[in-house]
A = this chain, B = another copy of it.
Amino acid sequence: MPSQRPLPGRIQPAPEGFLDARQIEAVRKGRRGFLKRAFAAAGGAMAGAAAAQGAFKGESEILELPEHSRGLGQPVAARAYGLPSQFEKGLQRRESPGLTRVSAASVSFAPLQGMFGIITPSGLHFERHHQGWWDIDPARHRLMVMGMVKEARVYTMDDLMRLPSISRMHFIECGANTGMEWGNVAVPTVQYSHGMISCCEYTGVRLSTLLDHCGYDRKNGKFVLAEGADGSSMTRTIPMDRALDDVMVAYAMNGEMLRPENGYPLRLVVPGVQGVSWVKYLRRIEVGDEEWATKDEAVHYIDLMPDGRHRQYTSIQECKSVVTSPSGGQTLLDKGYYNVTGLAWSGRGKVKRVDVSFDGGRNWRTARLEGPVLSKCLTRFNIDWTWDGRPAVIQSRAIDDTGYVQPKINQLRAVRGTRSIYHNNAIQSWKVSETGEVGNVQVF
């Protein structure tokens, strides 16, 4: 298994990661001439392919066809369940060493710097476990709905999968995402600064369907408690109006059953709300008339304020965005055009607009949003940029359809102080040096 240490060299800078040392040298010396040579040798399809293969080897090999253009490749279903290319091994979720005492109660971050579009491949979905993950036998798993209901029920997976089903795309973000940036700690890459977010298509049953089925107390049932089956017995309170709105008891993610690390066979999906409420290994739903003040909402996952008090029951992930490429740890190989890309999201609805600045916030241009733009879902943005070789500071600023504008870090600190862990949705700044190196800086 690859090292978990965040050595910048190990973190794949996309897209520059596709160039080997000789190519990087060729690029630095000026691509135009190099491309002309490559093409001059190409008189047609075969020679073209040959040039493609031989461009860096010298004339003698120019006309040699690569093996994949001559031989017979691997058969279908060589792997019953497919895997990424051997050349993509560098792109993986990584733990931040020392973040927690044991890796069973830790985090692995999604490699946003090398990801595309809005769908997170399930194999790269970020992880946050409180007592490790399990692969629970779905034939033995049950969900109990109890408390202030007419008839308490225990559901098998088969019961749940026979009920009316819905599919929705939503982002999930840990409340602690970008938490290190509250102080002056600038982690090196976007994987560690923003990698506790993922976005998937979920399929399951509306929680309201189960609450109706059990006849919940419409007069006094003001809250719902969700409890997980793992050793941490994660428990979270959810207001009834939210529970009846768009909360889902999900069994599937990205077209297949949930992954074990993400709560297989059952997890709660609470769109727009911090990940801790998306209870994994969901085994119990209780209806009650007041908040439960469980350990995970009264002591943990609270926001420490400047005056020493703390906020409880904060949950919505406010509008936020980040440029994923170029980003910390990557290098711009030469001047000229770049497609600058990133992600934007809001726990309150749709992303309305994303502006990008290349001079630390003095001037802003509006980015292109890729479709579909969905509520409480990631939105991919792209914007053209021609780098003139001088130092630059790249920032993105998202605005959602409520009109809320993503704040600067100092604006957020003025209200929240610097000792918080959770709910940092400040504008991120990436500094580009004259040599093309990109680093994480805080701009006020």
Q: Which of A83, A161, A164 has the largest count of B CB atoms less than 10 A from its CB?
A: A161
A7 contacts the other chain (Cβ, under 8 Å)? no
A320 contacts the other chain (Cβ, under 8 Å)? no
Q: With A117-B203, A122-B121, A154-B48 known to touch, is A87 a contact of B135 (CB < 8 Å)?
A: yes
Asked whether, in the complex, the Cβ of B85 is within 8 Å of the Cβ of A259, the reply is yes
Residues of B within 8 A of A48 (CB): 142, 144, 146, 154, 283-284
Asked whether, in the complex, the Cβ of A131 is within 8 Å of the Cβ of B167, the reply is no
Stretch at the interface among A98-106, A351-359, A429-437: A98-106
Residues of B within 8 A of A169 (CB): 372
Q: How many residues of A contact B (CB 8 A)?
A: 137
Asked whether, in the complex, the Cβ of B384 is within 8 Å of the Cβ of A256, the reply is no
The CA-CA distance from A77 to B133 in the complex, in Å, is 10
Asked whether, in the complex, the Cβ of A164 is within 8 Å of the Cβ of B19, the reply is no
Asked whether, in the complex, the Cβ of A38 is within 8 Å of the Cβ of B154, the reply is yes
Within 8 A of B (CB), among A55-104: 55, 66, 68-88, 91-95, 102-104
A176 contacts the other chain (Cβ, under 8 Å)? no
A362 contacts the other chain (Cβ, under 8 Å)? no
Q: With A95-B77, A103-B75, A117-B252 known to touch, is A85 a contact of B18 (CB < 8 Å)?
A: no
Residues of B within 8 A of A256 (CB): 84, 88, 91, 114-116, 121, 124
Within 8 A of B (CB), among A285-313: 286
A316 contacts the other chain (Cβ, under 8 Å)? no
A42 contacts the other chain (Cβ, under 8 Å)? yes
Residues of B within 8 A of A91 (CB): 256-257
Partner among B68, B77, B165 whose Cβ is within 8 Å of the Cβ of A103: B77
Residues of B within 8 A of A108 (CB): 76-77
A363 contacts the other chain (Cβ, under 8 Å)? no
The CA-CA distance from A372 to B76 in the complex, in Å, is 31
Residues of B within 8 A of A55 (CB): 142, 154
A427 contacts the other chain (Cβ, under 8 Å)? no
A273 contacts the other chain (Cβ, under 8 Å)? no
A404 contacts the other chain (Cβ, under 8 Å)? no
Q: With A52-B144, A138-B87 known to touch, is A81 a contact of B123 (CB < 8 Å)?
A: yes
The CA-CA distance from A354 to B52 in the complex, in Å, is 47
A341 contacts the other chain (Cβ, under 8 Å)? yes
Smallest beta-carbon distance A127→chain B, Å: 4
> A residues near B, CB below 8 A?
1-2, 4, 14-16, 18-20, 23, 27, 31, 35, 38-39, 42, 45, 48-49, 51-53, 55, 66, 68-88, 91-95, 102-104, 106-108, 114-125, 127-129, 131-144, 146, 152-154, 156-159, 161-169, 201-203, 227, 229-231, 233, 252, 254-261, 264-265, 281, 283-284, 286, 333, 337-339, 341, 370-372, 374, 380, 382, 384
Q: A19-B156, A83-B259, A163-B337 are in contact. List 8 more A-B contacts (CB 8 A).
A: A18-B158, A72-B132, A73-B131, A85-B138, A88-B257, A118-B255, A119-B255, A164-B382
